[in-house]
Amino acid sequence: MKRKNNVISVLLMVFFIAVAVITLLPLALLAVSSLRPGSDLMRYGLNFSIDWANANLHEYQMLFSGQNNYFVWYRNSLVITVVQVTLALLLSACVGYGFAMYEFKFKNAIFVCVLLVMMVPTEVILLPLYRLISGMGLTNSMWGVILPYMVVPMLIFFFRQYLSGISKEFVEAARVDGCSEYGIFARIIMPLMKPSFAAMGIYQGMSSWNNFLWPMIVINDIDKITLPVGLQSLLSPYGNNYDILIAGSCFAIIPILVLFVCFQRYFIEGMTAGGVKG
């Protein structure tokens, strides 16, 4: 039995190493290609064959030289992502807390509506959503990008499931001690939700940082667009700056890596707890 368990452990290790290698191959290909001249990229495409004698950091130097709006787009994406993730986590947690801890009329029906909204693809509601944002005068602004994602159905569902596994005795004891409802949420519930905040922070951060379609529709000013839209603008019928595009894509991965490294110890705990009702 012990030998069998050791064999299974070795096979699992080999499997996960293979999955990790397959996952990292595109990133390695991107990093190697960013060192190649643009002419080589156009001639041979993306591959691992590289002439190290011609390898250089010219594309990165162009990014940092200020010859384009790359870091303006980078700043825009950072601001939108930070504000959007903060508001989405806070507001969605409040809604999830209400569904998990309170009893009110039509509670289940409203929650079913939340689930239905979660199942609707964003592309289906783009036109009415744009008309709404346009009517509010928020087109071509960061708030036009942020507002539709301030409350996220996926996050509401996750937080509701997570909080359903927390005993209501915490809330009842706080009420007996005279704590207000806002105080209960801020002082008791939010500290208990750290793993779920970390897990959903990574999820929503990646979603916001990589969001392409909605910012492209809402924002027209070249100095206000986000990084994915800006990188796409490098490709046009009049010229394809693949060398700058690949170098910029490499540098764009950094915020997501930092976000995951900072919260990865809570990630598995939060994802597991959110899927199980205690």
Enter the CATH code of domain 68-274.
Answer: 1.10.3720.10
Confidence of residue 265 (pLDDT cuts 50, 70, 90): confident
Q: Is the pTM of this model over 0.85?
A: no
Tell me 225's DSSP state. Answer: -
Cα 54 to Cα 20: distance, rounded to the nearest angstrom:
30
Instruction: Give SS3 for 235.
Output: strand
- Which H or E run contains 240? strand 239-240
Q: Where exactly are the structural domains of the chain?
A: 1-67, 68-274
* Mean confidence (pLDDT) of the chain: 84
Percent of the chain with pLDDT over 70: 87
pLDDT at 275: 43
pLDDT of residue 165: 83
Residues in the chain: 278
pLDDT-based confidence at 238, cuts 50/70/90?
A: low
d(CA 137, CA 131): 10
* 3-class state of residue 262 by DSSP: helix
